[in-house]
Amino acid sequence: MRRLFVLLCALFLLATAVPAAADTPPDPVPGERPPLGITWATGDPYCVYQWGENAVKAAADQLVSSGLRDAGYEYVMLGDCWQAAQRDADGKLTARAGFPSGIPALVDYVHSRGLKIGFYSGTGATTCSRQAAGSLDREDLDAQTFADWGADYLRYDTCYSVNGDAPARVKKMADALKRTGRPITLEIDDYDREQKPWLWARAAGAQVWRTYKNSTNNFGYSANSLDKQYGLDGYQGPGGWNMPGPFTFSYLDTAERQAKLGLWAVLNAPLVADMALSADTTLPAAEMSNRDIIAVQQDWAGVAGRKVRDTGWTEVWAKPMSDGSAVLVLFNRGELAAPITTSVADAGLPAASGYRVRDLWTGDETVTTGALGGTVGRHAATVLRVWPTNVAAAPRTSLTVDLPDSVPPSQPVTTTVRFTNSGSTPVTGAHLRLTAPAQWQFEGPAEATTGTVEPGATWETAVTLRPVSTATEPFKMPATVTYTTAHGSRTATASAESPLMLTPNPPYSNGLLSTQPWISTENGLGPVERDSVDNGHPFTINGKVETRGGLGAHAPSVVRYYLGGKCKQFTATVGIDDRGPNGTLGFRVLGDGVELEATGNMRHGDAAQRLVVPLTGVQVLALAVDDAGDGSADDWGDWVMPYISC
C-alpha cells in the first residue's frame, strides 16, 4: 500500500507540474520594450491559406533551433483566420480544423519552448477577412478566453469600426484584458484604413499600433512605410510603439533585409517576421539574430530615431543610445550604388578627439575624427554605432568614385576616384585596383599606388574609359583599395554605377515627352507611368481630371531624356495628384546636371504651376520630383503635357 500511495503522489505531482512548467511567465509590463517575434498569415486577409498547428509548432521549434529565441525573439503570433467563422455553443471563439489538438495544447507547446504566443481578433463581428469571428460585443468573453488559454499578445484589427468609434471599441477590449489579470500586449491593426492610431491607441490601452496600412513585403512598400514614419517619433516610447509593418523576407534579398532591419531598429519598431505559410519555411536567422541590431531596437534613450539628411535617393537616419553613443543608418533606396555623406554632427555627438565606429553588420571597428560617409549599394544600408571616445583601432576610410548622371555609350568617360583617411593615424601603401565594366576598356593603367595618406587627407586619381563598341550593358565599375595601418592590412571597396545615355532613333522633334523614349527612370514607388499615376489612375489635381496626358511619378523620381543639344524649350504643367492627400513635393528641371527651373516645395491643394524652360545646348534633360525632405508616402506628382520644342 505504501508503494502504491507513493506512486499515486508522484503521478499527481507530475500531472500538476506540467502545466505550470509549460506556462511561460507573461511580460510584467506589456509593451515595456518593442516586441520581437514571428507571425503567421498576416499577409492573408482572405483566409486563402489552410495553415494550422503544425506550421505554428514548426515556427516555435525553428525559433529555438536557430538561436533566435536566445537572441530575444519570443513571440509566435497567429494571424487572421486561425479562428472559425462560428463560435461554439457557449459563444466562445473556436479554432479552425487545422488545429485538431485544440488551442490550449498549442499554447502549452509554445510555452514549453520558452516562447510566448499571440492571437488575432477584431473590433467587428468579423475580422478583416470577413471569414473569422471578431470580438464585437464579446470583448469580456474573448479576453477571458485568451487569458484562460495563456495568451500573451493580441493583434486587434479595426476593419469594421464605424463612425470613428475605433478608439472606443479598442478601449473596451483593452479594459477587458486588464480585468482578466493576465498581462497581454495589445496591438492595433488599422488594416487598409486611415484612422491614425498613433494619435489615440496608447490612451485606449494599446501597446503597439500600425503606422502603415499596407503590407511591407517588397522593397518598394518597405521604403514607402519608412516615409510614413516621418514625424511620428514623438508618439512612441516605453509602453507604446509605432509598428511600420512586419517583414516578409522571401521578397527581399540580403542587402534589403539588412537595410530594413537596421532602419526598423533605429525606429524602435517591433521586429516581427511575417512568414510564408508553410511549416518548412526557413527563417533568415543570420540577419535576424544580429545582437548589435537587436540591442539598438531594444534601447530607449528617450528620443526615437529620426531622419537627419535626405538627398532624394539617399538618406541618413540617426538614433541616440542610452550609453551616450549614437547609431547612424546610411540608406540608399536607389537602383544604383551611391556615395552618402554624413558625420558625427548628424549623429548629434559631442566634440571629441576621436570617435569609435562599429559597423553593425560586419562587426568592423575603426576610429574617425568626424567623417562617416561612404559608398552604399542599391537598396542597401550601412549601419554604424559611434561612441565619442578615442580608441586604439584602424582609421576609418572611405572610397568613392564620381561618374556623370548618365554615360554616353559610344564616347569616352572620365571618372575620379577618391580615397579618404578620416582617422587619426596615417595610412600607407594604398593600392587602387579598378575593374572595367563590360564593353569598356581603360585608356591607361587600371591600377595605381600612393605613399602615405595622412589623417584627414584624400588621395584622388582620374581614369578614362573608352567603349570597345557601342555599349549596351549597365555601366558598373568595381573599385578596391588595399592599404596598411598600424593595426594591420585592410581593404576598402566601392562601385561606380551610372545608366547608359541611350540615344533615341530617330532624333527628337517637337512633341510630348510622354510619347518619347527615355534614357532611364527611377521612381519612389512603382514605375514612372505614361498618361496615368499610381497604377493607372487618371491625373487629378485639386479635383480636376487632366486628360491631356503626361508622366505620373512618385517622389523621389527622375526621368532622363537625351536631347543631343537639338531642342530649344521645355514646357509642362505640374501639380500634386489627389492620390496623395497629404503630399508635399517639389518639381525640378535639370539640363546636363544643372538645375534650370524649380517649383519649390508644394503641398496638396496648391495650384498647379506652369513651367517654361529654355533648353538651348542641353544634351540630357532630367525631370525630377523631390519629397520636400519630409518623406514621400503621399508624394504623387503629375507632369501634365510635358512638351519639347526642337
445-481 residue pLDDT tens: 999 999 999 999 999 999 999 999 888 888 999 999 9
> What pLDDT is stored for residue 535 in this prediction?
82
Q: Where are the beta strands (DSSP E) in 326-439?
A: 326-332, 338-340, 355-359, 365-368, 374-376, 380-387, 394-395, 397-402, 413-421, 428-434
Could you tell me where in the chain the CATH 2.60.120.1060 domains are found?
Answer: 511-645
Strands 326-332 and 314-320, by their bridges, are antiparallel
Position 617 pLDDT exceeds 60:
yes
Does this model's pTM top 0.75?
A: yes
CB contact set of 26 (below 8 Å; sequence gap of 6+) = 116, 152, 182, 183, 184
Q: Where are the beta strands (DSSP E) in 271-427?
A: 271-275, 306-310, 314-320, 326-332, 338-340, 355-359, 365-368, 374-376, 380-387, 394-395, 397-402, 413-421
DSSP string, 618-640: -SEEEEEEE-TTS--TT-EEEEE
User: Could you give the 3-state DSSP secondary structure of residue 443?
Assistant: coil
Angle separating helix axes 103-112 and 53-65, nearest 10 degrees: 10
From residue 3, alpha-carbon distances to 9, 11, 13, 14 in Å are 10, 12, 15, 17
User: Could you give the 3-state DSSP secondary structure of residue 433?
Assistant: strand
Beta carbons within 10 angstroms of residue 365's beta carbon: 15
Task: Name the band, by pLDDT with cuts 50, 70 and 90, for residue 12.
Answer: very low
Q: Where are the alpha helices (DSSP H) in 386-467?
A: none
**Which three cell numbers mark 82?**
486561425
User: Could you give the 3-state DSSP secondary structure of residue 161?
Assistant: coil
Q: Do you find a cis peptide bond into 19, omega within 30 degrees of 0? A: no
Q: Where are the beta strands (DSSP E) in 31-90?
A: 36-40, 75-78
Query: Using CA atoms, how far apart are residues 246 and 188, in angstroms rounded to an integer?
Result: 13
Query: Using CA atoms, how far apart are residues 549 and 570, in angstroms rounded to an integer?
Result: 15
User: Which amino acid belongs to residue 403?
Assistant: L
> What pLDDT is stored for residue 500 in this prediction?
81
511-645 belongs to CATH 2.60.120.1060? yes
Contact assessment for residue 316 and residue 330, using Cβ atoms and an 8 Å cutoff? yes
User: Could you give the 3-state DSSP secondary structure of residue 480?
Assistant: strand
At the fourth CATH level, the homologous superfamily of domain 36-304 is: Aldolase class I (3.20.20.70)
The burial of 635, by beta-carbon neighbours within 10 Å (0-12 exposed, 13-18 middle, 19 or more buried), is given as buried
Could you tell me where in the chain the CATH 2.60.40.1180 domains are found?
Answer: 309-498
Nearest by Cα to 380 from 497, 553, 244, 518: 497
CATH of domain 309-498: 2.60.40.1180
Kindly tell me the sign of the dihedral angle through the C-alpha atoms of 140, 146, 151, 153. Answer: negative
Contact assessment for residue 547 and residue 511, using Cβ atoms and an 8 Å cutoff? no
105-149 residue pLDDT tens: 999 999 999 999 999 999 999 998 888 999 999 999 999 999 999
> What pLDDT is stored for residue 44 in this prediction?
56
User: Could you give the 3-state DSSP secondary structure of residue 171?
Assistant: helix
Q: Cα 620 vs. chain centroid, distance in angstroms? A: 32
Position 9 pLDDT exceeds 70:
no
DSSP string, 523-584: -SSS--EES-BTTTBPEEETTEEE-S-EEEEESSEEEEEE-TT---EEEEEEEE-TT-TT-E
CB contact set of 166 (below 8 Å; sequence gap of 6+) = 123, 158, 190, 195, 197, 200
Nearest by Cα to 334 from 556, 616, 638: 556
> What pLDDT is stored for residue 303 in this prediction?
86
> What pLDDT is stored for residue 631 in this prediction?
77
Task: Name the band, by pLDDT with cuts 50, 70 and 90, for residue 5.
Answer: very low
**Which three cell numbers mark 469?**
563598341
Residue written as grid cell 561618374? 403
44-103 residue pLDDT tens: 556 666 678 988 998 899 999 999 999 999 999 998 889 999 999 999 999 999 999 999
Query: Using CA atoms, how far apart are residues 332 and 65, in angstroms rounded to an integer?
Result: 33
Beta carbons within 10 angstroms of residue 550's beta carbon: 24
Residue 6: which H helix or E strand, with range? helix 2-22
The burial of 543, by beta-carbon neighbours within 10 Å (0-12 exposed, 13-18 middle, 19 or more buried), is given as exposed
> What pLDDT is stored for residue 190 in this prediction?
83
221-280 residue pLDDT tens: 788 888 888 888 899 999 999 999 877 777 788 999 999 999 999 999 999 887 654 555
**Which three cell numbers mark 239?**
509602453
DSSP string, 11-44: HHHHHHHHHHHHSPPPPSSTTSS--EEEEESTT-
